[in-house]
Amino acid sequence: MMVTVKEFSKEEYLLKGHAACAGCGPAISLRLLFKALGNKIFLVVPACCTTVIQGPYPYTSFSVPLQNVLFESTAAAASGIVAALHQRNVKDITVVGWAGDGGTVDIGIQALSGAAERETDFIYICYDNEAYGNTGMQRSGATPYGAWTTTTPSGKRERKKDMPLIMAAHKIPYVATACPSYPIDFVSKLRKAKEIKGTKYIHILAPCPTGWRYDTGKTVELGRLAVQTGLWALYEIENGKFKLNPPSDRLIDKAKRKSVKEYFALQGRFRNLTEEDIDRIQKGVDEDWENYRAQTSCSASDATLHGKI
């Protein structure tokens, strides 16, 4: 199915005058979510930046049904809503769990794991700004190696948790990564996920100007650089079959990937990185891509195994 930007609906379900910071990556992602799925959705949102974007009570900038739930219970609450809609025989509503990286990778992982194991029919989207942005940038499990946060003032010393592959290990029908800098890829993945029955997990890299310490106008450029340097790979795992999506599929060859330095140079949070740190990160990226190459080549044989265990 071919999607173009001009074909996207002019209808806006994220209303103007919301409370996101200027240049907010998650806000672009939210708009793209509504462009992909329309207003026949039910959003379940835990404590994260999106609760802030809604604005103060009794106003909200979302013109779709939305339930604010506790931090750890996004997937559990979404399971309940799926069950309620099933009981009332409502079939045209897509339930979407929309949580930040803290609410997915750290706090919400047990509820999400449980929902995936129960094969709840919903889409779970983690928008990843690589820290707890809502409370002022504290380190999360998704913060990358070397990044400054308020709780890692000299740079985080541990690597980022690979959440999409953790979800793929649950053998759910669809796992994908996306980035709002590539809107067509983003929207087609969401539309594809909507058609699939079962738990769907989509992980979005959403640059955050406030926490990453860069000029607000560079949000889309940074997302693009993250993909071009190979730090963020766009792929989908459909029924166990791993597939890199454009433009990431061309980056398997190391020479085509940009140096990670270009990505770091734009951001204040990586200002303290030493040359050794950068070498270590570059090595980590190259290792990840070796894994992607291996998975791409053997995924054909894997696909037959999937679901029989």
Residues in the chain: 309
Q: To the nearest whole angstrom, how small is the minimum distance from the Cβ of residue 287 to another protein? A: 32
Binding of residue 189 to another protein (CB under 8 A): no
Q: What are residue 285's phi and psi, to 5 degrees?
A: -65, -45
Binding of residue 183 to another protein (CB under 8 A): yes
Measured at the CA of 94, the angle between CA 90 and CA 98, to 5 degrees, comes to: 140
Binding of residue 188 to another protein (CB under 8 A): no
What six digits make up the tokens of 263? 């990505």
Binding of residue 16 to another protein (CB under 8 A): yes
Q: Between residue 250 and residue 309, which ones bind another protein under the rule CB under 8 A?
A: none
Candidates 58-66, 157-165, 275-283, 291-299 — which segment interacts with another protein by CB under 8 A? Answer: 58-66
What six digits make up the tokens of 177? 């990564």
HEC string for 82-95: HHHHHHCCCCCCEE
Which residue, 28 or 244, has its beta carbon nearer to another protein? Answer: 28
- Which of 117, 215, 262, 279 touches another protein by CB under 8 A? 215
Q: Which residues contact 184 (CB under 8 A, 6 or more apart)?
A: 3, 4, 5
Which residue, 62 or 270, has its beta carbon nearer to another protein? Answer: 62
Binding of residue 28 to another protein (CB under 8 A): yes
Antiparallel, parallel or unpaired: β 174-178 and 235-238: antiparallel
Residues that bind another protein (CB under 8 A): 5-6, 8, 10, 12, 14-25, 27-28, 31-32, 35, 54-63, 180, 183, 209, 215-221
